[in-house]
């Protein structure tokens, strides 16, 4: 990772995101000092320590925020699924397309047919798109292999991309993304075969995940799979309640998962369970808007009950075909009925909590110096104006990685 020193001055509004809970501070006329890649100071410009040194960047009165943390993506794949637009228009459901060999299974076939270099190149392009829209830390899942060997291949490609940088990648093993035709009717056997990989994931994957959904992997077998991963010392995240309430939130809570993701149909009892467990609810408005816009995750209920939330892109080839969390901020505000303050918290420190990273998503002293400058002087504008990438420049560890005005 880059470890540079820089002073960013003449910031119109600065969002340090250094508080906890609902705390939200807006610093007018701010400055950020990064030394050796870490934040030394973020606050009013007239409070900049006299010993601050390094190259000086004039922000031109722009908004400055921490780099965005996208806590849920499926960007590691080849091919596309543009053909699904017409199928969806005719009323085909997600599970119907999956049963017909489309959906995830179509991407599995395309990824298998592509070379390692083709998959890596396509994924790198998506990571660059995400970076240009302000994402500096990103969770990258496997999941388009569906055999132990193919998932192992994808994990290796993810590790190579992580080593390339400049983004900070969190790697999640999602071998249990769907049930392949070879194991139709026997999810327990499939999960047993995938679980055999778990011991070798230690030190390589940050999390193990599973798509817990009625008709895919039911709660009982999913919980056994997650328990096995934890017995190996692996942390877990869980896809839950995307298409209906399948009891996934309760499983995530019992397993003390780092996060429960989707949560579009999570019940009041599920919300209470997540609260008691301290599990982060990762909400994916782009996916819900694409699949069932009439039914969004109950974001207000999560917040009112004290459940920490993150907002992520769910970037994937079918149900959320985007790489750019930054461009989803207006939809998160509108569809989830969140204030700009709540949206910013969910895509910075909330995302960091969902991937277990306390050193990103904030400009508190000691955190990594990941900063985004936006072409506005008002933090509400990126949560209001859609269809335009407002990112002016991006810094990771104090190093400029998206040039000003790109």
pLDDT mean across residues, the chain: 95
Q: How confident is the model at residue 241 (pLDDT cuts 50, 70, 90)?
A: very high
The predicted-structure confidence for 245-303, as pLDDT tens digits, reads as follows 999 999 999 999 999 999 999 999 999 999 999 999 999 999 999 888 888 999 999 99
Residue 276: exposure state from Cβ atoms within 10 A (0-12, 13-18, ≥19): exposed
Both 121 and 32 in one domain: the answer is no
Q: Is residue 1 part of a domain?
A: no
Both 55 and 133 in one domain: the answer is no
Q: Is residue 57 part of a domain?
A: yes
DSSP code of 73? B
CATH code of residue 258: 3.20.20.140
| The predicted structure's pLDDT at residue 91 | 81
Q: Is residue 209 part of a domain?
A: yes
| pLDDT(379) > 90 | yes
Q: Is residue 78 part of a domain?
A: yes
Number of domain units in the chain? 2
Mean pLDDT of the region 336-352: 98
Both 31 and 151 in one domain: the answer is no
Both 161 and 199 in one domain: the answer is yes
Q: Is residue 286 part of a domain?
A: yes
CATH code of residue 45: 2.30.40.10
The predicted-structure confidence for 145-204, as pLDDT tens digits, reads as follows 999 999 999 999 999 999 999 999 999 999 999 999 899 999 999 999 999 999 999 999
Both 179 and 304 in one domain: the answer is yes
Indicate the Cα dihedral angle 236, 237, 243, 247, nearest 10°.
Answer: 50
Both 322 and 245 in one domain: the answer is yes
| The predicted structure's pLDDT at residue 406 | 67
| The predicted structure's pLDDT at residue 1 | 56
Both 133 and 52 in one domain: the answer is no
- Expressed as residue numbers, the domain containing 338 is 69-354
Q: How confident is the model at residue 103 (pLDDT cuts 50, 70, 90)?
A: confident
Residue where a domain terminates, one of 354, 369, 386: 354
Q: Is residue 135 part of a domain?
A: yes
The predicted-structure confidence for 130-144, as pLDDT tens digits, reads as follows 999 999 999 999 999
In angstroms, the Cα distances linking 169 to 163, 228, 237, 395 are 9, 24, 16, 15
Both 268 and 283 in one domain: the answer is yes
Structure-block tokens of residue 292: 């069932």
pTM of the model: 0.96
**Cα separation of 132 and 167, whole Å?**
11
| The predicted structure's pLDDT at residue 349 | 97
What SS3 state is found at 279? coil
Q: Is residue 212 part of a domain?
A: yes
pLDDT over 90 percentage in the chain: 89
């Amino acid at each position: 990772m880059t470890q540079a020193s820089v002073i960013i001055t003449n910031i119109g509004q600065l969002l340090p995101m250094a508080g906890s809970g609902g705390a939200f501070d807006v610093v007018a006329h701010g400055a950020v000092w990064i030394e050796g890649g870490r934040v030394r100071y973020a606050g009013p410009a007239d409070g900049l320590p006299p010993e601050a040194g390094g190259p000086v960047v004039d922000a031109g009165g722009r908004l400055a925020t921490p780099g965005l943390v996208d806590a849920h993506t499926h960007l590691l794949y080849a091919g596309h699924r543009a053909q699904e637009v017409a199928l969806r228009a005719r009323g085909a459901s997600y599970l119907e397309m999956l049963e017909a060999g489309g959906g995830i299974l179509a991407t599995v076939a395309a990824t298998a047919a592509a070379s390692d270099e083709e998959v890596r190149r396509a994924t790198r392009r998506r990571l660059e798109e995400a970076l240009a829209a302000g994402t500096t830390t990103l969770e990258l899942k496997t999941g388009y292999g569906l055999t132990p060997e193919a998932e192992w291949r994808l994990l290796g490609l993810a590790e190579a991309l992580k080593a390339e940088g400049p983004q900070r990648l969190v790697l999640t093993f999602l071998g249990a993304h769907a049930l392949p035709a070879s194991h139709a009717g026997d999810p327990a056997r499939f999960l047993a075969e995938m679980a055999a990989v778990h011991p070798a994931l230690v030190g390589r994957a940050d999390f193990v995940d599973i798509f817990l959904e009625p008709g895919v992997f039911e709660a009982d077998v999913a919980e056994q799979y997650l328990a096995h991963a934890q017995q190996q010392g692996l942390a877990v995240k869980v896809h839950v309640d995307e298409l209906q309430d399948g009891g996934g939130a309760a499983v995530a809570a019992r397993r003390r998962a780092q996060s429960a993701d989707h949560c579009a149909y999570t019940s009041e009892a599920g919300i209470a369970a997540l609260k008691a467990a301290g599990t982060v609810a990762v909400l994916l408005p782009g996916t819900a808007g694409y699949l069932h816009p009439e039914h969004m995750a109950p974001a207000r209920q999560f917040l009112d009950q004290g459940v920490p939330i993150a907002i992520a892109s769910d970037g994937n080839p079918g149900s959320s075909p985007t790489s750019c969390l930054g461009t989803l901020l207006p939809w998160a505000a509108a569809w989830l009925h969140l204030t700009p303050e709540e949206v910013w918290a969910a895509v910075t420190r909330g995302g960091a909590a969902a991937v277990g990273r306390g050193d990103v998503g904030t400009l508190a002293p000691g955190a990594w110096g990941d900063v985004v400058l936006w072409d506005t002087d008002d933090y509400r504008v990126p949560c209001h104006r859609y269809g335009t990438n407002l990112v002016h420049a991006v810094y990771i560890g104090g190093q400029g990685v998206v040039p000003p005005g790109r």
